[in-house]
Amino acid sequence: MTEIDRHPDKEEASLDRLRRMRQALAINIGIFALQLAGSVITGSNGLAGEATHELGDTAAHGLDVYGESNPGKAMLARKVAGSLILLGGAYVLGESINDLVNGHADNPGVKAAAIALGGFAGNVAISHRLHGIEDPSINSVGQMRHADSDVLKSGAIALGVAGSALFDQGWMDSAAGILGGGLTIAGNAMPTYAAYRGNTAYFEQGAHHNHSHEDHGHHH
């Protein structure tokens, strides 16, 4: 292990990074709670799809932190959480396709549209928090890239849900649900497979940020 640089600027930057990553995680949890409640209340497939995706992100980020001190238990938690999230994604995908095929795709209403747009705004806020990191670690760079792609995904889903409410087109909400459920499965399949294989290296690639990062030169 290399010595941690005790330069005050460095410590401040590292504290700022942690603070911003925690803020991003807190917003992530908030979006999940709002979308889960919203999907139950309005029956929106698009919100249900986004809720499973945000739950997957929250679990992944939380388990990255937990895994640093409890690698063995974290692998078990990754298997359980990954399997449940995959099931959730598959359920939303199935329901959305079913509603679409059987003509049950209903307009989820203005409330669902507002919550979906709120989720999009939350993802923009997460991306903004992570982009403000002055001294990025490999972990935080990975999260930043993911957050950028989440802005696009949640934007597409918000358009579907809002469009469904605005134009009274139920199929748009189901299309958003298919996108959300599909993305949840796509995003969680590899890490869950790696957890079942006991492939710890898969989860460690972003964990050793403080030394490997120094080689890539982000010195002030």
Q: Which of 50, 57, 64, 99 binds Zn ion (CB under 5 A)?
A: 57
Nearer to Zn ion, 109 or 142 (CB): 142
CB of 183 to Zn ion, least distance (A): 8
Q: Which stretch binds Zn ion (CB under 5 A): 51-59, 65-73, 107-115, 130-138?
A: 51-59
Instruction: Provide the residue type at 130 as one letter.
Output: L
Relative orientation angle of helices 170-196 and 45-69, to the nearest 10 degrees: 20
Rounded (5°) CA angle 136-127-195: 70
The C-alpha atoms of residue 177 and residue 170 are separated, in whole angstroms, by 11
Nearer to Zn ion, 63 or 100 (CB): 63
Instruction: Provide the residue type at 136 as one letter.
Output: P
CB of 153 to Zn ion, least distance (A): 7
CB of 138 to Zn ion, least distance (A): 18
Continuous H helices in 43-109: 45-69, 71-101
Rounded (5°) CA angle 34-36-40: 115
CB of 210 to Zn ion, least distance (A): 24
Instruction: Provide the residue type at 186 as one letter.
Output: A
How many chain residues interact with Zn ion (CB under 5 A)? 2
CB of 123 to Zn ion, least distance (A): 8
**Residues within window 112-151 making contact with Zn ion, judged by CB under 5 A:** 150
Q: If we measure between CA atoms, which residue out of 6, 22, 36 comes closest to residue 139?
A: 22
**Residues within window 150-209 making contact with Zn ion, judged by CB under 5 A:** 150
Q: Which stretch binds Zn ion (CB under 5 A): 24-32, 55-63, 64-72, 156-164?
A: 55-63
Nearer to Zn ion, 59 or 100 (CB): 59
CB of 197 to Zn ion, least distance (A): 22
Q: Which stretch binds Zn ion (CB under 5 A): 56-64, 100-108, 110-118, 206-214?
A: 56-64
Question: Which letter does DSSP use for residue 2 in this model?
Answer: P
**DSSP assignment of 90-130:** HHHHHHHHHHHHTT------HHHHHHHHHHHHHHHHHHHHH
Q: If we measure between CA atoms, which residue out of 36, 68, 55 comes closest to residue 188?
A: 55
User: Residues in the site for Zn ion, rule: CB under 5 A?
Assistant: 57, 150
